[in-house]
Amino acid sequence: MNHLGYYLRRTLQGFRNEWGTNLATVLTLSVAFILVGALVTVAVSLGRQVERWGGVDQFQVTAYLQPGAPPGAADQLRQALSGMSEVRAVRYVPGDEARKRLVDAFPEERDAWKSLDSSFFPGYVEIGLDPDRADEAHYRQLVGRVERLSIVEQVETHGDWYTSVLGIHRAARVLAIALGSLAIFATVFVVSHTIRLNFYRRRRQVEVLRMCGATPWFVRIPFLLEGLFGALLAAGVALGAIALFVEAVRGRLVDVAPVLGNSPIQHLPLVAWGVFLCVAAAIGLTGAWVSVREALRA
């Protein structure tokens, strides 16, 4: 603990003395983090759209039951779908509730809806899908299975929409993972080279430290902290920039693409912030560790 003050002082001094190199590194890292963060934001937002379209509030697959279907028809349907892991929820909506929903959705037509007999609104079953499991093949299989049931009169799907959004969501996720992995390698490389450069510029200092009895850790820690703080700073800049961007475009997207709902683009969740900062810290420490280890051996 006696050395903590020294380490922090040396780290700040290193940042200040090599400010040009460090600034360039932080900006480079920020750009890489912004790219990855933006892609993660898109993936998260698309995930929410998929949830929204396939979620419990707006079921993607609607099965209309035959007129005069027995009261236990919904249970029969549920049983038929019980083995399918992509089915998240099966819920029966009776005719009265169907009418109420219509009234709520189009209040200006309230009187017209109310004038109709409740038998005009057939009961139906909403089938919610798990967006993480339901790909297009599962989706078609599910629709086929429901259509074959004798108690079902008609199946309404939003398949094209759903599968398109699902496809984009998956592509964004894959791209985010691929780009993220690439960014990790690239940023470790950038941090490593920056710290190596700083190390060689402070060669004299390292020689003096070793001559005076500094342990390798004593020499190493300020450089590790430089890598750590640089990467965390870059991650902070990137997260801040992404948050500002989301805030700025969210309102406009609602106007431009109302089909995407009230929240077309999402802020990264806190967990993602935490993961982002942890990964950045690991990148900073790894990059610095690699370069200092090599330099101390030389």
Partner 1 sequence: MAAGGAQPILEIRHVSKRYRAARPLFRDVTFEVLPGEFVYVTGPSGSGKSTLLRMVYRAETADTGSIHYFGKDVLALAPRAIPFLRRNVGVILQDFKLILDESVYDNIALALEILGLPPREIYDRVRQALDRVGLAGYEDIRAEDLSGGEQQRVAVARAVVTRPSLVLADEPTGNLDAGNAAMVIDLLEEVNAEGTTVLLATHDNMLIAARPHRTVALVDGLVDEITRGRAVEDVRYAGAAQEAPQP
Does 6 contact partner 1 by CB under 8 A?
yes
Query: 166-184: string of b/e by CB count within 10 Å (b at 16+)?
Result: beebbebbeebeebbeebb
Interacting stretch for partner 1, rule CB under 8 A, among 24-32, 68-76, 110-118, 213-221? 213-221
Q: What distances in angstroms separate CA 247 from CA 9, 30, 244, 277, one per listed residue? A: 37, 19, 5, 21
> Which residues are CB-neighbours of 287 under 8 A, at least 6 positions away?
187, 188, 189, 190, 191, 192, 194, 195, 227, 231
| Residue selected from 218, 237, 241, 282 as contacting partner 1 according to rule CB under 8 A | 218
Q: What are phi and psi of 124, to 5 degrees?
A: -145, 170
The only residue of 2, 85, 150, 262 in contact with partner 1, by rule CB under 8 A: 2
CB of 229 to partner 1, least distance (A): 20
**Inter-residue contact 188 to 33 (CB < 8 Å):** no
Evaluated on CA atoms 163, 166, 172, 174, the torsion sign reads negative
Residue 293 makes contact with partner 1 by CB under 8 A: no
Tell the smallest beta-carbon distance from residue 19 to partner 1 (Å). Answer: 14
Under the binding rule (CB under 8 A), the answer on residue 5 touching partner 1 is yes
Give least dist CB 219 to partner 1, A. 10
Is 200 a binding residue for partner 1 by CB under 8 A? The answer is no
Least distance between partner 1 and beta carbon 273 (Å): 36
298 binds partner 1 (CB under 8 A): no
**Per-residue binding letters, 81-100, with partner 1 (x by CB under 8 A):** --------------------
Tell me if 214 contacts partner 1 by CB under 8 A: yes
Q: How many residues bind partner 1 (CB under 8 A)?
A: 18
Q: Distance (Å, rounded) from C-alpha 250 to C-alpha 229?
A: 31
Whether 90 and 128 have beta carbons less than 8 Å apart is answered as: yes
β-strand partners of 156: 62
Determine, following the binding rule CB under 8 A, whether residue 109 of this chain makes contact with partner 1.
Answer: no
Q: Is 208 in the site for partner 1 (CB under 8 A)?
A: yes
Of the candidates 147, 215, 240, 275, which one interacts with partner 1 according to CB under 8 A? 215
Q: Does an H or E element contain 235, and which?
A: helix 216-256
Structure token pair of residue 5: 């003050």
Q: Which of 75, 207, 247, 294 binds partner 1 (CB under 8 A)?
A: 207
- CB distance 277 to 181 below 8 Å: no
- The answer to the question of residue 294 lying near partner 1 (CB under 8 A) is no
Pick the piece of the chain touching partner 1 (CB under 8 A) from 36-44, 58-66, 116-124, 202-210: 202-210
Which residues make up the interface to partner 1 (CB under 8 A)?
Answer: 2-3, 5-6, 17, 204-205, 207-216, 218
